[in-house]
Amino acid sequence: MKIKTKLSLLFTFTIALFLIGLNLFIYSISKSFASSDFFYRLRMRTYAAANVYLEEDEVSNKVFQGFQKVLLEKLPGETIMLYDSINQPAFIRDSVPTAFPVTVIEKTRREKTYKSKISGTYTYGIYYPDNQGNFVILASAADKIGDAKLTQLGNGLLISFFFSIFILFFIGRFFTMRMLKPVNDIINHVNSITDSNLNLRLSEGNGKDELAELAITFNNMLERLQKAFELQQNFVASASHELRTPLTSIIGNIEVLLSRHRNADEYKIVLQTVLEEAERLHKLSDGLLNIAQASSDINNIKMEYIRIDELLEESKNAVQNQMSESKMDLYFENMPVNSDDLLIKGNKNLLIIAFENLLENANKFSENKNIKIDLANSPESICVAITDTGIGIPEKDLNNIFQTFYRSENARSYSGSGVGLSLCHKIFQLHNGDLSVKSELGIGTVVTVVLKKG
């Protein structure tokens, strides 16, 4: 069942409940008013009868009947009786059987008034003390006109209820379709968006209601998807290019080597070149795998508490083993008394990869000049700053250095693939850290990493 049908039925059901309650209220009020009005009419008859019959000592049955015809409107099934202190009909000479049960007469005498409705017959009685004696006057009749009016009212309310429900269902459906039209437009628009036209956006309307918020949210998602898709395309294209270069070199050298018989020195030179290209290819593939890991969900990565000073020392030693001519000094600032204050939560392998990449870059682009590593501690975070005096980064390139495979013009003469900084950036993002770079061309670069504790 579609939402517009559900909303129409819900709207109709809600109004139906309201109308049922309203109709029952109207009917009950009308019924209560009709009953009260008829009891009031019977009450007036009892007092009128008392005033007429008790004015004289004796009144004949003929006078009694004339009183009913002339002074009072005859009601359907009407009976008016006066009873003396011994519960006998008074002022009626003819033999008339007792019209009301003795229990009713006694109850009226005891409670001073009496009223009841049994099987559509209303009865009202009063206790009337007089100088001629103490009397009970009872009047009963059927309110056929009132019952007919109530039946007519009930039928009218029932017919109007079903007619109203029928009309309201289609009114509700009409307005629901109008309200949900923007949703249908969104559905049609979304169905037209494919990977080839991710630049399309939904109409955001007035930008204020919930549908506008839905369109805005969807547009933001499309924006992220477009950027991710473009990054993926660029990544695949760049990765293919970077992988093709060493593979082409390896294949070319092997083909040259096999083209004719060569001496041992020539074989050694070619194999050395092939080895270098294979190592470059291996390093590049490792970088791509590390980027894939760093881009994954943090919940899938094992996290543990690590001492940052020990991790930096381990990274520094690993880089020095690979680059024997490197000169790096580690400085500590505001070191805590408790070593636990240097703990951060993270993945040790990924953090070592990131810091080793930063230290390798610092040594490579400063040609093994002195590298300064500063470790500063604060109550909320730990800051690591790596300072070199190398070639620096042009200002126009600073906004692009975290893109995969991006390399500044002045760095292209150095070996590398442009994966390192992108990988570091993703790793520190994964650890809720911040990586920033400040650099001056020809003076040097300062790379700052801030990691939150806990």
Q: Which of 26-35, 79-88, 165-174, 290-299 has the highest mean pLDDT?
A: 26-35
pLDDT at 372: 92
Residue 295 has pLDDT above 60, yes or no: no
Alpha-carbon gap, residue 279 to 285, rounded angstroms: 10
At 372-416, the pLDDT tens digits run 999 988 888 899 999 998 888 888 888 888 776 677 776 776 766
Q: For 182-240, how does the pLDDT look when each residue is reduced to its tens digit (9 = 90+)?
A: 777 777 777 777 766 767 776 776 666 677 777 778 778 877 777 667 666 655 655 66
DSSP annotation of 119: T
Domains located in the chain, CATH noted: 3-149 (3.30.450), 210-294 (1.10.287.130), 298-452 (3.30.565.10)
Give the residue-averaged pLDDT of 271-299: 68
Q: Is the pLDDT of residue 158 over 80?
A: yes
Between CA 307 and CA 334 the distance in angstroms is: 15
Q: What is the pLDDT of residue 274?
A: 83
pLDDT for 44 equals 85
HSE-up of 313 (CA within 13 Å, CB side)?
7
The confidence score (pLDDT) of residue 93 equals 46
Q: So what's the pLDDT on residue 374?
A: 92
Q: What is the pLDDT of residue 334?
A: 74
pLDDT reported for residue 242: 57
CA distance linking residue 430 with residue 302, whole number of Å: 12
Share above pLDDT 90 across residues of the chain, in percent, rounded to a whole number:
10
Chain segment 76-124, per-residue pLDDT in tens: 878 888 888 888 887 654 444 557 888 998 999 999 999 998 888 899 9
pLDDT at 351 over 70: yes
Span 65-74, mean pLDDT? 53
pLDDT of 70 reads 41
For residues 8-33, one letter each, b for 16 or more C-beta atoms within 10 angstroms of the residue's C-beta and e for the rest, the string is beebbeebbeebeeebeeeeeebbee
Inter-residue contact 454 to 308 (CB < 8 Å): no
| Per-residue pLDDT at 175 | 79
**With bands split at pLDDT 50, 70 and 90, how would you rate the model's confidence at 442?**
confident
Collapsing DSSP to helix, strand or coil, 54 comes out as coil
- For all residues of the chain together, what is the average pLDDT? 79
Give the model's pLDDT for residue 248.
81
Amino acid at position 331, single letter: Y
Whole-number pLDDT of residue 155: 92
How high is the pLDDT of residue 276? Answer: 75
The confidence score (pLDDT) of residue 348 equals 84
Mean pLDDT of 256-262: 81
pLDDT of 395? 83
**Per-residue pLDDT tens over the stretch 370-383:** 889 999 888 888 99
Instruction: Determine the pLDDT at residue 300.
Output: 60
More confident call, 291 vs 52 = 52
Output the pTM of the full model: 0.47
pLDDT the model gives residue 379: 84
Long-range Cβ contact pairs of 68-77 (< 8 A, separation 24 or more): 72/45, 72/48, 75/41, 75/141, 75/142, 75/143, 76/141, 76/142, 76/143, 76/144, 77/121, 77/140, 77/141, 77/142
Q: What's the pLDDT band for 438 if we cut at 50, 70, 90? A: very high
Q: Quote the pLDDT of residue 386.
A: 93
d(CA 258, CA 227): 46
The least confident of 165-169, 175-179, 235-239, 257-261 is 235-239
